[in-house]
Amino acid sequence: MAVEHPNTEHTTALRIYYCGREQCAPGHFWGPAIRPHYLLHVILHGKGTFLYHGKEYALSSGDAFLIEPMQTHYYQADKEDPWEYAWVGFDGNCVEKILNTTVLRSSPVFYSPSDLCCQPMLQLNTLFFSPEKNPLALASAFLQLFSCMTRPESGGRSDHNEQYYQRALEYITNNYSYNLRIQDIADYIGVDRTYLYKIFMREAQISPKQYLLQYRIRAAAKLLQTQDYTVTEIAYSCGFRDSAAFCYHFRQQIGMTPRQYREKIRSGTY
């Protein structure tokens, strides 16, 4: 993930413009104003208020608030217990996708039950001002900060089932070429194997094991259509342990061997 600084003109996945930290004086305020990019504050100590889109939010230690580009905002430190906060200004192609995985997709504030975000934000600040300016370390710290603000969607049981199913499909899509076990999928989405089976039977009318096998066969068929890889190379590339097992399952699913399938595709008879 690229991390660049304010003088960068071309578009990149993630640009971190600046970081900072400030202990505010009692009643200190900023705005109403706008920013040209995203700006996230994490409150380290104290209290304050954030006014955004006509709504006022009372915030305290551990909480965070996000300002989007070109949106009018105002915030003020408490007069009795003024806040100290740290911030990061950022932008980039991947930012919207990152924010959509957090509670910030539906609210400009994150109310933390503890000081989850404080240490990651301080680490991000330290790395930003480090002489080495390691872009990978900076990107890692940035993602670690936002990982503290993820939260499962609220909703009924059926909503959760749909989310589990979609996450399982995504995991299979990204990992089918490895020695993937059904237990790995269940562990990834956070359910037991029996519950995963029920989700797949309800959503796909087949078991997760059958779905994985069919996905691998479809991926293999695509390679047979468009590439000159050997059957053994395709077998291993699609998650089969050997070509014999691959040929057996391919014939069960498609009705012919991989070689026969390739010949029919090339001759235009399939």
| pLDDT tens digits, one per residue of 120-160 | 999 999 999 988 878 898 999 999 999 888 865 444 445 56
Q: Which residue in the block uniquely carries the two structure tokens 């995504």?
A: 170
Q: Which domain holds residue 200?
A: 155-270
> What type of residue sits at position 96?
E
Give the domain-ending residue among 116, 147, 178.
147
For the chain, residues with pLDDT lower than 50 are 1-11, 153-157
Structure tokens at 60: 């305290």
Specify whether the CB–CB gap between 56 and 50 falls below 8 A: yes
Specify whether the CB–CB gap between 231 and 196 falls below 8 A: no
pLDDT of amino acid 162: 79
pLDDT of amino acid 265: 87
Indicate if 92 and 172 belong to the same structural domain.
Answer: no
How far is 50 from 53, CA to CA, in rounded Å? 10
Number of domains comprising the chain: 2
Answer yes or no: pTM beyond 0.75.
no
Q: What is the mean pLDDT of the chain?
A: 87
Indicate if 127 and 215 belong to the same structural domain.
Answer: no
pLDDT of amino acid 10: 42
pLDDT of amino acid 115: 78
Question: In 3D, which of 51, 67, 75, 131 has the Cα closest to residue 99?
Answer: 67
How far is 144 from 130, CA to CA, in rounded Å? 18
The DSSP string of 13-54 is SEEEEEEEEEEPPTT-EEEEE--SSEEEEEEEESEEEEEETT
